[in-house]
Amino acid sequence: MRGVGEMKRKILSMFLATVMMFGTFDVTYGATIENTVTTQSTSATIVKSGKCGDNVTYTLDSDGLLTISGSGDMFKFGIGDSPFWNNSDIKKVVIDEGVTNIGYEAFRACSNLASIKVSNSVTSIGDYAFCECSRLTSIEISNSVTSIGDYVFADCYSLDNIYVSESNSKYKSQGGVLYDKKMTKLIVCPAGKKENIEIPLGVTSIGDYAFGECSYLTSIEIPNSVTSIGHSVFYNCVCLTSITIPKSVTSIGSVAFEYCSNLNTIYCYKNSTADTYTSYPVAATKVYLDDVTTTESTTESTSVTETTTVTSTETTTETTTTVENLFSFNSSTGTITGYSGSEKVVNIPSNIGGIYVKAIGENAFKNNTDIETVIIPEGVNSIEDFAFYKCTGLKYVSIPESVTSVSEDSFYRCSALNITCKKGSTADNISLYPSGSTIVYYVEKGDINGDGSIDMRDVILLMKYVTGKVSEIW
């Protein structure tokens, strides 16, 4: 009996040991099952399905995933006819292998669509396919796509990058901008792109609506390889203040600058297509690149920034000086090296003579006691040693995010500055400025007063804020 008891104890011990040995496994396994069950119980369910092509179907689940499956083309939908039109429930689209095209207006106005996965079987994307998808941030064009319709990405306000497969034979992207494969046509610049772009030399045409709704675009220089600019190219570019158009441009489409309310300077050549074009905003002023400084015999004064008049017995000779002439400029480096003006507010141009300004050079504004406000444009990269040395009247400086280098001596002996910049930018470093300086962060786009444009009204409001006349600006 004793032996039996010992045996029972041994068996019990072995059993308990086994339970203990596998207990963790059992618990873990049980948790896995539980999670699986939970996942299944909370997994998405199909909320809508149907046909969107002769041999193409779709399913939309409760998580907002829209899956397009089958073979062949999607339907070419009429205006508002797509089963997905204006559907805010769609968050992600997956187009499976076998589907060969994305139909006309297929996903128009899907306001919450943020992600698209397109199979390599898709060869064409119809007109307006993703128009007004305001949350779409990026898209990749696969190597199989050979046709992209008109206005495919129009009014996609968050879209800042269009990627194209390197092996695509028809299209190419550079800097997130869509071109044809040979880089001769700029097709579309994403509306959400936050920095100015440089159009590569070799581009010969800019397509219809190419920069439409690019609300961050402030200035642009068109290279002298471009011969044609499509219609509505800069439609509603509300922050565009200047554009440079070369002689090579012989065609500009209708309403190319419609609703460019802040476009105030067009750099062009006399008697060129850009000079004779009639659909500029009312406030826009032409600055002739071939006649920045001219001497003319005239009996009447012309509208100029500064005028030096020499009177003779027979004629009056006037020398016209534009704003650009107030700046000494090294065009090979894009550096402003001096300034001869006496204005209180200096709005530094984004380009001089068609060349982008990249730097505020050493001693450029040295000892200028007239200046009170300086606005530095997007595109400038550096502010060099003693650039504003002993500008004792300087109170307000606006520095864009593009500035990645600010010398610690740039504002030496500027007694007390108010700097406006973007939080986290290079300029957001109080050690770069004299003691007593204040940093004020501007809101996205620099639109401080929230009126949809960036102009002197924003600067004035900033001045009121730093002087305590208003307590809040956003």
Query: Is 29 contained in some domain?
Result: no
Residue 212 lies in a domain: no
Whether 151 and 132 have beta carbons less than 8 Å apart is answered as no
Between CA 107 and CA 149 the distance in angstroms is 14
Six-digit token string for 244:
């440079």
Q: Is the pLDDT of residue 172 over 90?
A: yes
Is beta strand 351-352 parallel, antiparallel or unpaired with respect to 382-383? unpaired
- 300 falls within a domain: no
Last residue of a domain, one of 159, 187, 217: 159
Q: What are the tens digits of pLDDT across the range 347-402?
A: 888 888 878 899 999 999 998 988 988 989 888 999 999 999 989 888 889 898 89
Q: Which is higher by pLDDT, 181 or 445?
A: 181
Q: How confident is the model at residue 249 (pLDDT cuts 50, 70, 90)?
A: very high
Please answer whether residues 99 and 72 qualify as being in contact, where contact means their C-beta atoms are separated by less than 8 angstroms: yes
Total-model pTM: 0.55
Number of neighbouring beta carbons within 10 Å of residue 127 = 17
- For 183-221, what is each residue's pLDDT tens digit? 999 999 999 898 888 999 999 999 999 999 998 899 999
User: Integer distance in angstroms from the first to the last C-alpha of the chain?
Assistant: 89
Q: Is the pLDDT of residue 137 over 50?
A: yes
Residue 32 has pLDDT above 80, yes or no: no
How large a percentage of the chain has pLDDT more than 70?
77
Instruction: Check the CA dihedral 109-115-119-120 and report its sign.
Output: positive
Which domain does 60 fall in, by range?
A: 46-159
Residue 79: pLDDT band with limits 50, 70, 90? confident
Give the residue from 118, 141, 159 where a domain finishes.
159
Give the contacts of 252 (CB within 8 A, at least 6 positions apart): 228, 229, 245, 273, 274, 277
Domain count, the chain: 2
Indicate the pLDDT class of residue 8, thresholds 50, 70 and 90. Answer: very low
State what percent of residues in the chain have pLDDT above 90.
Answer: 50
CA distance 143 to 433: 51
Asked, for residue 198, whether it belongs to a domain, the answer is: no
Exposure string of 316-342, with b = 16+ CB inside 10 Å and e = fewer, is eebebbbbbbbbebeeeebbbbebebe
Residue 225 resides in a domain: no
Residue 311 has φ and ψ, to the nearest 5°, of -100, 130
> Of 455, 450, 445, whose CA–CA distance to 472 is shortest?
450
36 within a domain of the structure (yes/no): no
If DSSP codes are grouped into helix, strand and coil, which group holds residue 317?
Answer: strand
116 assigned to some structural domain: yes
Cα(188)–Cα(233) distance, integer angstroms: 9
Cα torsion 424, 427, 432, 434: sign: negative
Residue whose token pair is 């920045």: 292
Contact 374, 380 (CB under 8 A): no
> ∠ CA(19), CA(22), CA(26), 5° rounding?
105
Tell whether 454 is covered by a domain.
Answer: no
- pLDDT tens by residue, 394-419: 888 989 889 999 998 899 888 778 88
- The token pair that represents 405 in the structure block: 């280098």
What does the chain come to in residues?
474
Q: What average pLDDT does the segment 437-447 reach?
A: 67
Chosen domain end from 136, 159, 182: 159
What CATH number is attached to the domain comprising 380? 3.80.10.10
